[in-house]
């Protein structure tokens, strides 16, 4: 890995005298009731119908009553089951997709841009000693004296811990590929937009989930012993060509097997325990990905992307800046 490295146009309307065929007006204002369209919509919300579903569907342009009726019919014909307050639709009628999350931010939003930095990890003086870093190991990681000086560490201080500052790597400009975490972005939004902590947090996690869905962000490493520094842009400048191809294949794996993965882990996990996070990101989850794809995931942290998609979609109810939230179907069973 490279070290990170409806605009409304009213003129036409006025020119036409505000005229629009009545049939078109009716179509625009009539909520969608088609079952196939409803099921496709539900696929992006975990193929579940729960307390929030009718309101959310109505906001998305669907008929909330039709959605409720659909759930009742599928329960009767055995294509769905009841889990607490949730109706979970079976795979024969609904395919779970990586959550459809709408973000009011984009990667070009000023607050987001201001959190971007290079993914070059600069160890502190204490870390250099604790990790037994040497001039050679620091140079191999691409670290220069200027990198340390930008962190307030002087050449004299490096010498004091056994590092020759003159023998470090040449300074190199690097692309800003590392996204600031949800905590940093939440605080930035509170400060710049005056939003509440809760709204800022929800906007931050929605941005991450949406970015993962669109393939614009990744939490990638091909080594279980190497934790990614954070969510990274998938832009070509941030990766080698081999890593870029691996990230694309990992994203395709995520999309192709998402339904089977979530249903399999959810069937074995209780919503009344603290096991859901481990069920999505633990060893069993990794083995399941290997089984589904017929090969080991190139991104060993693929489960972390599933977890953050679920957070952004609200599948952990009540999740906030300070609370981890309560998991609900399809992630688990009651």
Q: Where do the domains of the chain lie?
A: 32-95, 125-167, 182-327
More confident residue, 12 or 2: 2
Flag whether pLDDT at 153 surpasses 90: yes
Judge contact between 63 and 57, C-beta under 8 A: yes
pTM for the whole structure:
0.80
Task: Check residue 17 and give its pLDDT.
Answer: 34
Query: Among residues 141, 311, 117, 128, which one has the least CA distance to residue 226?
Result: 141
What is the SS3 assignment for 48?
A: strand
Flag whether pLDDT at 170 surpasses 80: yes
Task: Check residue 180 and give its pLDDT.
Answer: 87
Judge contact between 160 and 91, C-beta under 8 A: no
Q: Which of 145-149, 241-245, 289-293 has the highest mean pLDDT?
A: 241-245
More confident residue, 76 or 27: 76
Task: Check residue 278 and give its pLDDT.
Answer: 86
Task: Check residue 86 and give its pLDDT.
Answer: 93
Q: Report, as an integer, the average pLDDT of 292-298.
A: 88
Task: Check residue 33 and give its pLDDT.
Answer: 67
Least confident of 32-36, 106-110, 273-277, 292-296: 32-36
Task: Check residue 272 and give its pLDDT.
Answer: 85
Q: Report, as an integer, the average pLDDT of 79-107.
A: 94
Task: Check residue 313 and give its pLDDT.
Answer: 92
Longest dimension (CA), the chain: 81
Task: Check residue 25 and give its pLDDT.
Answer: 38
Sheet holding 86-89, edge to edge: 48-49, 86-89, 80-83
Beta bridge partners, 81, equal 88
Task: Check residue 283 and give its pLDDT.
Answer: 86
Q: What is the CA radius of gyration of the chain?
A: 24
Give the confidence band of 30 by pLDDT, cuts at 50, 70, 90.
low
Flag whether pLDDT at 47 surpasses 90: yes
Percentage of the chain modeled with pLDDT above 90: 62
Mean pLDDT for the chain?
86
Distance CA 288, CA 258 (A): 11
Task: Check residue 277 and give its pLDDT.
Answer: 85
Task: Check residue 5 and give its pLDDT.
Answer: 38
pLDDT digits (tens, 9 = 90+) for 122-139: 889 999 999 899 999 999
Question: At 89, phi and psi to the nearest 5?
Answer: -80, 140
Flag whether pLDDT at 2 surpasses 80: no
Quote the DSSP letter at residue 51. Answer: T
Give the confidence band of 52 by pLDDT, cuts at 50, 70, 90.
confident
Quote the DSSP letter at residue 295. Answer: S
Distance CA 164, CA 185 (A): 36
Flag whether pLDDT at 24 surpasses 60: no
Flag whether pLDDT at 10 surpasses 60: no
Question: Residues 145-153: contacts with CB within 8 Å, 24+ apart?
Answer: 145/171, 146/171, 147/120, 147/122, 147/171, 148/122, 150/122, 151/122, 151/124, 153/122, 153/124, 153/125
Task: Check residue 164 and give its pLDDT.
Answer: 95
* C-alpha separations of 215 from 207, 298, 308 in Å: 12, 15, 13
Class of the 32-95 domain?
Answer: mainly alpha
Distance CA 302, CA 286 (A): 8
């Amino acid at each position: 890995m490279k070290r990170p490295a409806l605009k409304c146009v009213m003129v036409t309307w006025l020119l036409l005298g505000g005229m629009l065929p009545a049939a078109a007006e009716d179509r625009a204002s009539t909520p969608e009731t088609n079952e196939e369209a409803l099921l496709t919509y539900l696929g992006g919300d975990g193929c579940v119908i729960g307390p929030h579903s009718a309101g959310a569907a109505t906001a998305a342009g669907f008929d909330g009553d039709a959605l409720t009726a659909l759930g009742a019919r599928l329960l009767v014909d055995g294509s769905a089951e009841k889990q607490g307050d949730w109706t979970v639709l079976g795979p024969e009628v609904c395919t779970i997709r990586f959550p459809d999350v709408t973000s009011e931010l984009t990667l070009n939003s000023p607050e987001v841009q201001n959190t971007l930095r290079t993914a070059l990890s600069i160890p502190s003086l204490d870390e250099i000693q604790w990790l037994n870093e040497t001039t050679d190991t620091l140079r191999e990681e691409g670290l220069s004296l200027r990198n340390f000086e930008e962190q307030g560490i002087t050449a004299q201080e490096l010498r004091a811990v056994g590092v020759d500052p003159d023998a470090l790597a040449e300074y190199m400009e690097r692309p800003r590929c590392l996204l600031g975490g949800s905590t940093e972005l939440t605080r930035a939004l509170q400060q710049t937009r005056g939003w509440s902590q809760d709204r800022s947090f929800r906007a931050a996690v929605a941005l991450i989930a949406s970015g993962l869905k669109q393939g614009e962000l990744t939490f990638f490493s091909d080594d279980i012993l190497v934790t990614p520094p954070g969510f990274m842009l998938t832009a070509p400048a941030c990766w080698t060509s081999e890593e870029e191809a691996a990230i694309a294949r990992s994203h395709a794996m995520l999309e192709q097997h998402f339904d089977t993965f979530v249903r399999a882990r959810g069937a074995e996990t209780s919503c009344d325990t603290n096991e859901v996070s481990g069920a999505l990101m633990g060893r069993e989850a990794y083995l399941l990905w290997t089984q589904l794809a017929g090969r080991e995931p190139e991104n060993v942290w693929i489960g972390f992307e599933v977890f953050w998609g679920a957070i952004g979609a609200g599948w952990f109810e009540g999740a906030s800046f300070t609370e981890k939230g309560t998991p609900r179907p399809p992630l688990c069973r009651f």
